[in-house]
Structure 1
Amino acid sequence: MEVLGRLLAMLAVLLVGTGLRSSGALNDARTARLNATAYYVALPALVFVATYDQSIGDLLSTELFVGSLAVLFATGAIAWIAYRNRLSNDRRSVAIIQSYHSNLGYLGLPLVAATFDTQVTAIASVILGFVTLVQLPLTIVVLSAFGAAEAAIGRELAALAKNPVLLALIAGLTVGSIGVTFPGGVVVGLDALGSLALPLALLCVGAALQIDADAVDFEAVGSVVALKLCCMPLLAWVVFSALSVDRATFTAGVVMLGMPTAVSTYVYANELGGDAEFASLNVFATTVASVASLFVLITLLG
């Protein structure tokens, strides 16, 4: 019941963000400031605190790396086959990317940190790092292959090099590997900032969601929800079981890869010729439906 209560609270905060945006209380400028606080302050603090006392060798295993990427590419391949002869090009590209592109930063890591122990959170931070480095360029390539807009892969990769969350991950793993200690007060302060990551992220995600009920293609949206929230975590469960990873790695891998579609996919669809309205619907649907799917996953994982 505690897990269900936490997930329902997550949904409530998400819908509060949507309501504040609809009422005008959370306008573009305020949403941008809220987003910047989450992106540049809360999330990096959460990542650093989760990894600063851990060695990278204890967190990143070959099985975790290979398994995560195998699940990512397998889900993408299944989506490509499923949509190969369906939908228009602009919708097909969006359906494919939103079947595998997970919301690892804004929802995944904060939720794991709020639900599981520090070891699982640290491994989830590492998953956030290397999976982001793969799924983002892959998404740009897929959208560009179907769309009319040219890919800005170089620009996006340059932006990744300055990503504060990834920089915090590198800093945390470096500090953990060389054994530097930090004063307790600093750690407590960073931990307090990191605890703001989930509510801030949920408000930002809620404010970014847009939905036009009259334009919903229930079959197409339902198939994306099924691939993202059912197929992908099931594949993760099978792959990590086959690789015989330890319990913390298994938990972090399955939960992180079971996250809903990232809000950023809507942004990239809008920039690179995808169906932005369809992308927004899928983000909304997978995010809301993830309350049920994550409850099942977290309950099964204990």
Structure 2
Amino acid sequence: MSLTDIFLGTLGITLPVFAMVFIGIGLKRLGWIDQNFVNTASRLVFRGTLPTLIFLSLIGADLGNTFNPWLLLYFALATLASFFLCWAWAGWRMPRHLRGVYVQGGFRGNCGIVGMALAHGMYGEAGLSIGGLLLGVVILTYNILSVVVLSFYRPRDKGSRLAQWRSIAKHILTNPLILAVLAATPLALFEVRLPIWLATTGDYFASLTLPLALICIGGTLSTRALKRGYGPALGASTWKMVSIPFLATATAWLIGFEGRELGVMFLFFASPTAAAAFVMAKAMGGDETLTANIIALTTLMASITITAGVFALRVAGLI
């Protein structure tokens, strides 16, 4: 296969995902969708269609081929390492009041939407299965580590800290994505199959997830925020879209991961900063403008950095 064929094949995987994001931007500018639509659709995706997609993909998966505890362990450790690397860099280069949101923006990716969409585009149902298992690790680590760093740079009394930890624990334990993974795993292990009518209905409902979620990302994106300062945002975005994906993926390859497992991990590590980071920063008194800048910049960078990364890994024959 020539380099041109590999490159065109790579574009066939990544361009549809980012085209939907830019369609969302266009629809928002045309006034065909508004913030109320984005808020409602985002809730529908988070609470309904995405958990259904994960549930069905895991039920239909061959866990004997897709479940790898070492993969989950490595992803968790790599996420933790990237978190502390970002924190060390922020402690050296960033003013204290910006460090919390800088670190969160530098390590927290939008794996649930962009990562899953790309995994599905590259590996089909197997990509969704591996991605669904990784999401359990993603949700736990991203939420807990974000609370840690944002709390560290926001002085609170003990009572308010305890209340914050209780709140985040409640959100983790009741997170629809985690519940979907927990509900589907035993059914997949015992090879339980849903009735055809129920599986078909679920497929119809789950098929709304990726296009609707990607349009919502585009509808939320604001490039105007970048005009209010982009220095720290560029630094955090470089960590998120270049340094962390390169270091984490290279280390994964060196210790023996390859093929679709390496590919899905790269897509998850290389996903742009999650929109949930804005909500978390705002709720905990962080710099919401910087967070919005990071989200916008990483999303715009993703179409180039992810395409380049996938192309390089395919040329090298690693995925």
TM-score relative to the length of structure 1: 0.90
SS at match of 1:82: helix
Distance 1:91 1:20 in 2: 33
Q: CA deviation at 1:227?
A: 0.9
Query: Within the alignment, does 1:137 sit opposite 2:144 as a pair?
Result: yes
Matched residue SS, 1:79: helix
Find the partner of 1:214 among 221, 227, 230. 227
- Whether the 8 Å CA contact 1:259–1:290 is kept in 2: the answer is yes
1:17 counterpart (4, 21, 24): 24
Q: Which of the residues 59, 74, 85 maps onto 1:78?
A: 85
Contact in 1 for aligned 2:111/2:271 (Cα 8 Å) = yes
- Aligned partner of 2:265 in structure 1 is 253
How far residue 22 of structure 1 moved from its aligned partner, in angstroms, is 4.8
1:54 maps to 2:67: no
Match of 1:282 among 294, 297, 302: 294
Q: Is the contact between residue 126 and residue 169 of structure 1 (CA under 8 Å) also seen in structure 2?
A: yes
- Alignment-derived partner of residue 267 in structure 1: 279
Indicate which of 238, 243, 254 corresponds to 1:231: 243
Shift of 1:240: 1.8
- Whole-Å Cα distance in 1 between the matches of residues 226 and 250 of structure 2? 36
Residues 145-224 of structure 1 aligned to structure 2 (within 5 Å): 145-148=152-155, 150-151=160-161, 152-210=164-222, 211-217=224-230, 219-224=231-236
Q: Which residues of structure 1 form unaligned runs of 5+?
A: none
8 Å CA contact 1:53, 1:172 repeated in 2: no
Alpha-carbon distance between aligned partners in 2 of 1:144 and 1:19, rounded to the nearest angstrom: 36
Query: For residues 55 and 161 of structure 1, do their structure 2 counterparts lie closer, same or farther at Cα, with a shift above 3 Å needed?
Result: farther
d(CA) in 1 for partners of 2:113 and 2:45?
A: 8
1:123, CA displacement in angstroms? 1.0
CA-CA distance at 1:208 after TM superposition: 2.3
Gap regions ≥5 residues in structure 2: 1-7
Letter aligned with residue 216 of structure 2 = C
- Corresponding position of 2:11: 4
Within the alignment, does 1:91 sit opposite 2:98 as a pair?
yes
Paired amino acid for 2:36: A
Aligned with 2:92: secondary structure? coil
Offset, 1:88: 2.6
Change (3 A) 1:192 1:116: farther
Partner of 1:147: helix, strand, or coil?
coil
1:235 aligns to what SS in structure 2?
A: helix
Provide the secondary structure at the position in 2 that maps to 1:16.
Answer: helix
Letter in 2 for 1:76: F
2:306 corresponds in structure 1 to 294
Percent identity of equivalent pairs: 22
**AA in 2 matched with 1:227:** W
Alignment RMSD: 2.2
User: Which residue of the partner structure matches residue 240 of structure 1?
Assistant: 252
Q: Which amino acid aligns with 1:279?
A: T
Structure 2 residue 50 is matched with structure 1 residue 43: yes
Which residue is 1:29 aligned to?
A: 36
1: CA distance between counterparts of 2:24 and 2:110?
17
* Cα contact 2:136–2:178 (8 A) shared by 1: yes
Pairs aligned (count): 301
User: In terms of mean alpha carbon deviation, does 177-186 or 165-174 score higher?
Assistant: 177-186
The one-letter code of the counterpart of 1:155 is S
Mapped to 2, the partners of 1:112 and 1:190 lie a distance apart of 20
- Which sits farther off after the overlay, 241-250 or 15-24? 15-24
Q: How much does 1:117 deviate?
A: 2.9
Normalising by the residue count of structure 2, what TM-score does the alignment of the two structures yield?
0.86
